[in-house]
Structure 1
Amino acid sequence: MNRVAALTALRGLALGDAFGETWLLRPADLVETALDERRLADGPWPWTDDTAMALSVLRILDRHGHVDQDALAVAFADAYAADPYRSYGGSMHEVLRSIRQGEPWAVVTRRKFDGMGSWGNGAAMRVAPLGAWFADDLGTVVAEAARSAEVTHAHPEAVAGAVAVAVATAASVGGVEGGELIEAVVARTPDGEVASRLRRVARVALSADPRHVAGMVGCGERISAVDTVPYAVWCAAAHLDDLTEALWATARAGGDVDTTCAIVGGIVAGRTGLDGVPADWASACEPLPAWVDDPSRPI
């Protein structure tokens, strides 16, 4: 267990989430110029469901030391009920309300999308702290990431996306370098379209323009694990030693920017920490709950 790395990954995830959300809130015709000139939005920068659900993952790891799926489902539903205005995905409103009303999570999750389950990027966006928590054991990372995904996303591609991000975070924390990190992720991601697109980005130079990579594999415009995770893993691998540059690069292609930046922020911060983040970024980002920084507080 590496709680310190998990907390750092969580902070990076929240920063990326909040930073990315600012681009979604701007008029579309002004975004490209603002990115070119690196003009930040005024604070505060609120975080979204990406961070809210990552907090629940960490809460359950703190309490149980592993992913207790029933407890995680309740934590997700309780957090949603307490604050449903965090830009949750459309299908998650029904899922989390149903769990809150007492329906078994396995039933609720598997009836989505004609029984296929959601293959959205929600399981991937929240999982980086878990990858950091179990970073010393990649087998456990894979198993626990899959268990965390299944609570809300039954589709195998959504599970694969969560596994990929968790492994990327564990590898980042462990000091694995750029291209080797992507290869480590490919080796442990269940076969399917997520894995196929990861193999594609593994062949792209880390010096490439992120927009080129997004054109190949997507950048979250479909809100799926398939078109989100490979792009985010590549962006993280290309900037493993500079969190701020990683987030600027990730935002460059557009798409589901809060989620791609949350994923990248979690992967990279688990390695770098947040000491290099500019002070105005840190002050603009919405603070995390007090229990995150004080393990003695009730969670």
Structure 2
Amino acid sequence: MGNRTAAVSALRGLALGDAFGETWFFRPAEQVETAVGERRLKEGPWPWTDDTAMALSVLRILDEHGRVDQDALAAAFAEAYAADPYRCYGASMHDVLIAIGQGEPWAEVTRRQFDGMGSWGNGAAMRVAPLGAWFADDLDRVAAEAARSAAVTHAHPEATAGAVAVAVAAALSVRGVPGDELIGAVADRVPDTEVGSRLRRTGKLAAGADPRHVAGMVGCGLQISAVDTVPYAVWCAATHLDDLTEALWATALPGGDIDTTCAIVGGIIAGRTGLSGVPADWLTACEPLPDWVSPPAAR
């Protein structure tokens, strides 16, 4: 049996990070940096995006199957997309989910993306933290299930590596691994890829490094790829493992794909901390998750 409690906590942190990060979109980078530095928040409500919508499907399949059933996960993604396609899905993901919804085999759809290379976007990584929390007691299982979840929409090895990295980071967070050990432990389980190489690079940086400097070295999602998103997000989480609020502020500072970097960071940290310490007005502003995630009596 998986650790559903930790998975739900990770999902709640992911959704908060996603919604918080989305508030910074459509602003010039210099405005973001100034507003983050002054801790100026946008008034609610803060809706979440495709990051959370797809993470909800991951949790639903784990609830129903106790593992990643790829056919069921593909169908769940397509169903959620058809019900609400206006969650800021990426351009290629529109094509993928429409095709799957029309009955095309997911493996054929994902393999033909980007002239047959498959997508190396950050979508497989952004949604996977609850899975890492669910299987936290077995890191080999975490890596295997994360890879299976990635393949449903992303056929490129870098996307798989990104999903494995985030899932393992979330699992290690739940297990209480110290922040100064987390990046190295994640890198040890990531395939030999550029994601792995950049993770190792961030592991050599001091915890007090400026997030803008780290983003300049490894990216912060401007290319919407696993390569330029995951290493930065894992570093931000590792250097703020016990303070979700500060982690989100730090993650947003350089700009980039802020909803996704913050979703990843929120998912990794909250599996360990829950939403403890998060300001009440943030929780009120964030769009709530569906009741099935955690029925009112269980909250």
- Which of the five TM-score ranges fits, normalised by the shorter chain? over 0.9
Q: Hey, what does 1:231 align to over in structure 2? A: 232
Q: 1:79 to 1:265 in 2, by over 3 A?
A: same
Give, in whole Å, the separation in 2 of the partners of 1:275 and 1:164. 24
Task: Tell me the SS of whatever aligns to 1:277.
Answer: coil
Q: Deviations over 1:61-90 (max 9, x none)?
A: 000000000000000000000000000011
Is 1:260 aligned to 2:253, yes or no?
Answer: no
The alpha carbon displacement at 1:37 in A equals 0.7
RMSD, aligned α-carbons: 1.3
Change (3 A) 1:198 1:28: closer
| Equivalent AA in structure 1 for residue 25 of structure 2 | L
Q: Residue 192 of structure 2 aligns to a residue in which SS?
A: coil
- Give the equivalent residue in structure 1 for 2:137: 136
1:117-196 correspondence to structure 2 within 5 Å? 117-196=118-197
* Alignment map for 1:1-299 (pairs within 5 Å): 1-26=2-27, 28-294=29-295
Whichever residue aligns with residue 189 of structure 2, its letter is R
What's the CA shift for 1:138?
0.1
Distance 1:33 1:128 in 2: 30
Superposition deviation, residue 134 in structure 1: 0.1
One-letter amino acid matched to 1:172: S
Look up the equivalent residue of 1:177 and give its one-letter code.
P
Measure the CA separation in 2 of the matches of 1:188 and 1:240: 19
Instruction: Map Cα deviations across residues 16-71 of structure 1 (whole Å, 9 max, x no partner).
Output: 00000000144555322211110110000000000000000000000000000000
Q: Secondary structure at the match of 1:24?
A: coil
- Segments of structure 1 that go 5 or more residues without pairing to the other structure are none
Residues 222-244 of structure 1 show CA distances to partners (whole Å, capped at 9, x for unaligned) of 00000000000000000000000
Partners of 1:241 and 1:29 lie apart in 2 by 28
Whole-angstrom distance in 1 between the partners of 2:121 and 2:157: 10
Residues 168-199 of structure 1, C-alpha deviations (whole Å, 9 max, x = no match):
00000000011211011000001110000001
C-alpha separation in 2, matches of 1:275 and 1:8: 10
* TM-score between the two structures when normalised by the length of structure 1: 0.97
Q: Quickly say closer, same or farther: Cα 1:123–1:296, change in 2 above 3 A.
A: farther
Q: d(CA) in 1 for partners of 2:104 and 2:296?
A: 31
Question: How far does residue 295 in structure 1 lie from its aligned partner after superposition?
Answer: 9.8
- Find runs of 4+ consecutive structure 1 residues off by over 6 angstroms: none
Distance 1:184 1:158, change over 3 A: same
Percent identical residues = 79
Give the aligned residue type for 1:31: V
Deviation per residue, 1:121-151 (Å, 9 max, x gap): 0000000000000000000000000000000
Amino acid at match of 2:118: G
SS in 2 for 1:263: helix
The worse-fitting range, judged by mean Cα deviation, of 190-199 and 29-38 is 29-38
Q: Distance in 1 between matches of 2:254 and 2:237?
A: 14
